[in-house]
Amino acid sequence: MKAFQYATAHSVSTARELIGDDGAFLAGGNDLLNRMKEYLDEPKTLVNVKSLPGLNKIETGAQSWTIGALVTVSELEDHAELKKVFTGLQQAAAEVGSRQIRNVATVGGNLAQHSRCWYYRHRDTLCLKKGGDLCFARNGENKYHSLFTGNTCISPVVSNLSIALAALDATVIVDRDGKEMRLSIPELYAKAWENPTAHNSLSPGDLILKVEIPVQNRRSAYQQISEKEAFDWALVSCSSAAKVDGKKLSQVKIALGAISPMPHQVKAANDFLEGKTLDDAAANHAADLILAKAQVFEHNGYKLPIARALVRRTLTRLVEDK
């Protein structure tokens, strides 16, 4: 690891000043410190943001909840009321890595974490994401890669929280140059869709402050399939949210993870399910709409049946759970 300076910010404006042109915000450090150890990132200054006041709270409200960027993933997992109101988010949090990782990982860091593509993570490989000319995964080892992309890089978004938050219509509040900017989850990842070197739409110095989730009285669910039972990344993940009346669905939102550089959502599928009584045929047709434009590479075709199953299972959970 290259030598760096370390500073703790006690206000957002100080954090902005300290980071300068070549610093990085440090939250739990799960992702950033590993990138530094691999020489993927060499920030001159690490700005510890864990002491920023007011960003470590979960605030409940009748219209919306706010979750501070410094709330840990295990705090989401353990929050009894959140489990009832935003079940899918609690389930997504509970699937992140291991309990040790969840104790340290923050909401902001989880949303802003970088690609896990093994070419990107290999220190000696100058892939497209690192400014090289080629996405090596396209014609190489693409087992864990995307089925959808708007550019030539095929590394997918891997943040569990982003998938659940997309289904819940959450807004991410970001400090940019002293102004608060509100981004939907699709907006937070839109740049990664277009630009092979981007992991999200944040610019250097942008600081995630909190996440706002509207209370819509919808049920939600999250499921993922991984190679290992626990302590593993999702091969594919899915979160669904909807109002449920018997088995009839409305205001449906479905988002899939690990198959696109942004949470994968297809409006036509949500629209199709509006007012429908959920049965296998409806769930399968929604999955067909979601996956219609998938581009399969040599080793990742297995993701398609998993994605179909997860759409069906998360929707079924909505109508089964009481």
Ligand X SMILES: Cc1cc2nc3c(=O)[nH]c(=O)nc-3n(C[C@H](O)[C@H](O)[C@H](O)COP(=O)(O)OP(=O)(O)OC[C@H]3O[C@@H](n4cnc5c(N)ncnc54)[C@H](O)[C@@H]3O)c2cc1C
Binding site for ligand X (CB under 6 A): 24-32, 49, 69, 95-97, 101, 104-106, 108-110, 112-113, 158-160, 202, 207-208, 233
Residue (228 or 322) nearer to ligand X, CB: 228
Residue (158 or 278) nearer to ligand X, CB: 158
Task: Supply the DSSP symbol for 130.
Answer: G
Query: Nearest to ligand X by Cβ — which residue?
Result: 109
Residue (25 or 136) nearer to ligand X, CB: 25
Taken in order 178, 181, 187, 189, the sign of the CA dihedral is positive
Residue (68 or 319) nearer to ligand X, CB: 68
Residue (83 or 116) nearer to ligand X, CB: 116
Residue for token pair 């353990």: 78
Q: Shortest Cβ distance from residue 133 to ligand X (Å)?
A: 24
The secondary structure element, H or E, covering residue 21 is none
Q: Shortest Cβ distance from residue 95 to ligand X (Å)?
A: 6
Q: Shortest Cβ distance from residue 106 to ligand X (Å)?
A: 3
CA distance to 27, 121, 144, 202, 305, per residue, from 46 (Å): 10, 20, 30, 17, 42
SS3 154: coil
Region of residue 117 (left: phi > 0; alpha: psi -120 to 50; beta: else):
beta
Q: Shortest Cβ distance from residue 219 to ligand X (Å)?
A: 22
Going by their DSSP bridges, the two strands 23-26 and 58-59 should be labelled as unpaired
Q: Shortest Cβ distance from residue 176 to ligand X (Å)?
A: 10
Residue (211 or 283) nearer to ligand X, CB: 211
Residue for token pair 């969840």: 102
Going by their DSSP bridges, the two strands 207-214 and 5-8 should be labelled as unpaired
Q: Shortest Cβ distance from residue 15 to ligand X (Å)?
A: 9
Residue (25 or 297) nearer to ligand X, CB: 25
Q: Shortest Cβ distance from residue 107 to ligand X (Å)?
A: 8
